[in-house]
Amino acid sequence: MTKTVILAAFLSLALAGPATAAMTPDGKMIPVPEYDQAEVFVKAGAFEKAMPLLLETLRRYPTHASAWNLLGFMARKDGDVEKAASYYERALKVNPAHLGALNYQGHLYMETGQPEKARANLDLLGKACAVKCPEFLQLKERIESGLSGKYAD
């Protein structure tokens, strides 16, 4: 694979957005309906309905960073700090600039008394967002407020 093809594949993944599609080995973006439905369930707080859909997404597309991120979000909201940390790390291993994972991992750091790590994530978000994106602003507000504990998003 030439550098141009690799760069084109990376750019198409980045521009397609992190959530609703997966990239095939040949660089094509395809929709992932299981992920889309899981995201709806997570937003509604129906984690038990989202879980099998996210696991199916990851069975089919193990490098779906947004699915790893949602698993981390659900684990964090359920109070399982270790699982949440592991899932966020998996998401960031797949995509080190994943905005959602950087944001939510930063929230996890605040909840576990690690504001210096949250600030490091904020710096990474600042570099990843051309304009200050919602993920950057949410984490910045959380850090500035000094909120910690499970009660905060």
Q: Are 36 and 52 in contact (CB under 8 A)?
A: no
* In-domain check, residue 150: no
* In-domain check, residue 135: yes
* In-domain check, residue 152: no
**What are the pLDDT tens digits along the chain (153 aa)?**
333 333 333 333 333 344 567 766 666 678 899 999 999 999 999 999 999 999 999 999 999 999 999 999 999 999 999 999 999 999 999 999 999 999 999 999 999 999 999 999 999 999 999 778 999 999 999 999 986 554 444
Question: Are β-strands 29-31 and 21-23 bridged in parallel, bridged antiparallel, or unpaired?
Answer: antiparallel
pLDDT at 24: 61
* In-domain check, residue 151: no
* In-domain check, residue 9: yes
In angstroms, what is the C-alpha Rg of the chain? 16
Q: Are 22 and 28 in contact (CB under 8 A)?
A: no
* In-domain check, residue 102: yes
- Count of domains observed in the chain: 1
* In-domain check, residue 69: yes
Cα distances (Å, whole numbers) of residue 27 to 24, 92, 126: 5, 20, 28
Query: For the domain that residue 91 is a member of, what is the CATH number?
Result: 1.25.40.10
Q: Are 115 and 140 in contact (CB under 8 A)?
A: no
Residue 72 CA to residue 63 CA, distance in Å, equals 15
Residue 64 CA to residue 81 CA, distance in Å, equals 21
* In-domain check, residue 128: yes
- CA 47, 52, 56, 59 torsion-angle sign: positive
Instruction: Give the domain extent around 129.
Output: 3-145
Reduce the DSSP state of residue 23 to 3 states and report it: strand
